[in-house]
A and B are shown apart, each in its own frame.
Chain A
Amino acid sequence: MKHHQPGLLTLFLSVFKISAFTFGGGYVIVPLMRKRFSEELGWIEQDEMLDMIAIGQSAPGPIAVNTSILLGYRLMGIRGALVSVLGTAIPPLVVLTLISLIYEAFISNKIVATFMAAMRAGVAAVIADVVWTMAGNIAKKKKPAPIALMAAAFVAVYFFKAPIVLVLLACGLLGFLVSGVASRKEAAR
């Protein structure tokens, strides 16, 4: 499976499938893109994929859309970006157009509600699995700064409900300052 040449059809079908079946929005979709394109297909290095996820979250707009554009562009240029964004946008277009016609019946349906509630346990397990891997990749490098930043950002967002824009700005700025200090130390040596 690994090291196949990237192809437009596989790109389209992969993002289409993820968008069509992933419940919970961008924060669930994006780690699944990482799993598909880095782990299963081996098209993109883990670190570069994490860069794309970080940029996709920092830019305005839907995170899943942003990341799919970055991914498609990196793999196959503008064509790739367009194919990838189409694959991400078509499933919600079809599903929601249909549901908006019968949405009152959909919302009040007991089986649908039970299914949605039951599936949350699976969604939580999927995120736990990918966070385990992603946080493990950051911790593995044994640098204290990123680990501390990850913990601080989590506490700020989850416990203190800090605005996401501020957290991203602060982390980007801190990273910039730390790299400045590090390169000055290098130069002084």
Chain B
Amino acid sequence: MSLILTLYWAFFQVGLFAFGGGLAALPLIRDQVVETYHWLDMATFTDLVTIAEMTPGPIALNAATFVGTRVAGLPGSIVATIGCITPSLIIVLILARVYSAWKDKVAFQGVLGGLRPAAVALIASAGVSIAVLALFGEGERIAPDSVDWIALSCFAIALLVLRKWKLGPITVMLATGVVGTAIKLILEAV
């Protein structure tokens, strides 16, 4: 029982202090899981980061579920996830009420007017990082001769399909993965 409570409390703190989303949560998770409670060693934590980024869904929840399962099985994964979500539920529901009450106030609109462009910029920044990784590979320098031409073609076609035919984004992402994998495997086989 106490293990379950500790797990809940550890991820409650992660949810409470992670500003900037899942990637900001990872160092906090390391503090709790590796340094404070020694549930994982550093090598497993590194694997955890890889897995949380490789699997679909919010990165912080992926990490919470992984740690929870390893510490206390299925109940652990559920408790860690709920712990991670609890602060959001409290804080965001308060913000939602503030938003509907103050939506028309000039000062609040001013703050939102500053946050909106920042929100788009953060998404754009994450997008550019992913694009660089996709087109130039891990640790490669950004230069014309290190471009992955298959990835670049896939990117261009995917973008064209999204803009022109309004195909669903999930379909496009998965299709790019399948097509890209097929091309690479075929090229390796011949």
Spell out A's residues near B (CB within 8 Å): 17-32, 35, 50-51, 53-66, 69-70, 73-74, 78, 81, 85, 88-89, 91-93, 95-97, 99-101, 103-104, 106-107, 111-112, 114-132, 134-135, 138, 145-147, 149-154, 157-158, 163-165, 167-168, 171-180, 182-183
Contacts and interface: CB of A to CB of B under 8 A. Distances in A.
Interface of B: 15-25, 47, 50-62, 65-66, 69-70, 74, 77-78, 81, 84-85, 87-89, 91-93, 95-96, 99-100, 106-107, 109-131, 133-135, 137, 150-152, 154-156, 158-159, 162-163, 169-170, 172-181, 183-185
B125 to A, nearest CB: 4
Grouping DSSP codes into helix (H, G, I), strand (E, B) and loop, the A interface class, with mixed when no group exceeds half, is helix
Contacts of A126: 158, 162, 169, 172-173
Contacts of A17: 170
Given A117-B137, A128-B159, A179-B106, 15 more contacts: A25-B21, A26-B59, A50-B120, A55-B115, A59-B95, A61-B15, A88-B61, A92-B55, A96-B57, A96-B65, A107-B54, A116-B177, A118-B179, A127-B126, A167-B118
Contact of B24 (A29, A107, A164, A176): A164
Contacts of A64: 21, 57-58, 61
Contacts of B84: 61-62, 65
Contacts of B125: 154, 157-158
A57 B58 contact: no
Interface centre among A51, A117, A119 (most CB of B within 10 A): A119
Contacts of A55: 92, 95-96, 99, 112, 115
Of A20, A24, A177, chain B has the most CB atoms within 10 Å of the CB of: A24
Given A92-B62, A128-B159, A158-B125, A115 B115 contact: no
23 contacts: A55-B92, A60-B19, A61-B16, A62-B85, A64-B61, A73-B93, A92-B81, A97-B69, A106-B54, A117-B151, A122-B180, A123-B134, A128-B159, A131-B123, A132-B163, A134-B123, A138-B116, A157-B121, A163-B20, A175-B113, A178-B114, A179-B109, A180-B107
Contacts of B50: 107
A23 B55 contact: yes
Contacts of A24: 53, 126, 130
B158 A122 contact: yes
Please name the 5 residue pairs, one residue from A and one from B, whose CB atoms are nearest each other, closest first: A175-B114, A179-B110, A118-B180, A122-B176, A127-B127
Contacts of A118: 150-151, 154, 176-181, 183-184
B88 A153 contact: no
B114 to A, nearest CB: 2
Contacts of A175: 110-115
Given A59-B92, A118-B176, A121-B176, A129 B111 contact: no
Contacts of B93: 69, 73, 78, 81
